[in-house]
Amino acid sequence: MSVCLPSSIGSSPFSSSEAVRERSLSFVGSRSARLPRVEAIMASMATAFHATTAANGVRSSLAVASSSCRSVVSSSSLRFASSSSLSLSSASVRGGFIAVQSDGVSRMGVRGMPVQVRADASAGAVAAPKPGTSTFKVAVLGAAGGIGQPLSLLIKMSPLVQELRLYDIANVKGVAADLSHCNTPAHVSAYTGSGELAAALKDVDLVIIPAGVPRKPGMTRDDLFNINAGIVRTLIEAVADNAPNALINIISNPVNSTVPIAAEVLKAKGVYDPKKLFGVTTLDVVRANTFVAQKKNLRLIDVNVPVIGGHAGVTILPLLSKTRPTVEFTPEEVEELTVRIQNAGTEVVEAKAGAGSATLSMAYAAARFAESCMRALDGDSDVYECAYIQSEVTDLPFFATTVKLGKKGVEEVIAEDLNGLTEYEKNAVDALKQELKGSIEKGVQFAKKQAATV
């Protein structure tokens, strides 16, 4: 049995309160009927949960799921009792589902950030993570930048992280010192400059790369290519030499080209595993979910929109026809939402008026994807995300679709995303493929040219 709890229940999900107020209970999946002790379990969770959430007078929802927490089908109400036999061992709760499994010592898998829960004889006691549960070493390359800093903070909050290594060419020691004061279990260390890059990467489980220059007004992702392509190539060479078995999450734009560059570098080093290389397109999904929920007045926590293709302009294709829960869109709404999702990055760049690009939302999305990777590495068998990967679902060598993550990276590509598309979506796929093809070829040619000059 698993219980899913959305954590967006107040202005701050990390502050405490005196009591947990009324919440709504929803059941998901066919096994909900076989949960005779749901009320008792929910009651015992109340005190533990209010230790880390702002809940005074705030309504949220609770979902009980079978194998997946991706669609809520019915709801009823339940008032929590004030006693508890569960205790929270970490306050890393944020938007999405918390899944609690009834196995004594359980992981609360959030859409983007889990926390740990364990059975405890003392009601309401807050305990440290069980030894051995926080086991992963994570390196953030570009940790002092606009994305890197908030991303590092979110990663620091994860109880799945044992060691957080921050790397940048400058100013990273201050970031590490600042984060080290946060009372979460992950140990933080700083590495500055090329001479310390190898040490930052040695034997890590997950590498996250936000390094590079940001977009500025009037700048396309393609304008970033010459600078960021060289940065990614250098960093991936170091990853290949020092952490060849790590999962690699690439954020540096243009992702459509930097992922193929990384693949070519890893091939040249003889350590390429296509199941472990990801272009992080989660921000497109996050935006699609948000915009659709706003447009259709849906609970954001219920909404999931798969996004396929790539991670720039028209290569970003939200499959609105496959939105869950099922919702009807007019042709005008489809056009409006698709264009807004495709141009959402520009929307932020223009709103910041030269002061930056989408850093906070990108950090959030990247942390969600990183957490999903670690949950999969840790044995969670029900982890799905959209990502830009080496793929055979189209005639292009790289393509973003929904994937199931496992201990070795990509466990399954959900090819049915491309089945049953509307005429609008079919035409959009045809249009994006030509643009995406050019970006992929540009990345491959850059990597081969650089290899030839070495």
Q: Is 311 a catalytic residue?
A: yes
- SS3 label, residue 76: strand
> Rounded to an integer, what is the distance from CA 215 to the centroid of its chain?
21
CA distance 222 to 304: 29
Return the structure tokens found at 64.
């009980």
Select from 116, 91, 90, 122 the least CA-distant residue to 104.
Answer: 116
Instruction: Return d(Cα 32, Cα 39) in angstroms, integer.
Output: 12
Tokens, residue 389: 């990967």
Q: Which of 5, 4, 27, 9 is nearest to 77 (CA)?
A: 27
Choice among 50, 181, 187, 311 that is catalytic: 311
Give φ, ψ of 142 to 5 degrees: 105, 35
Q: 239, 207 in Cβ contact below 8 A?
A: yes
Tokens of 194: 């090329």
End-to-end CA distance of the chain: 55
425 — phi, psi (to 5°)? -70, -40
Active-site residues, by number, are 311
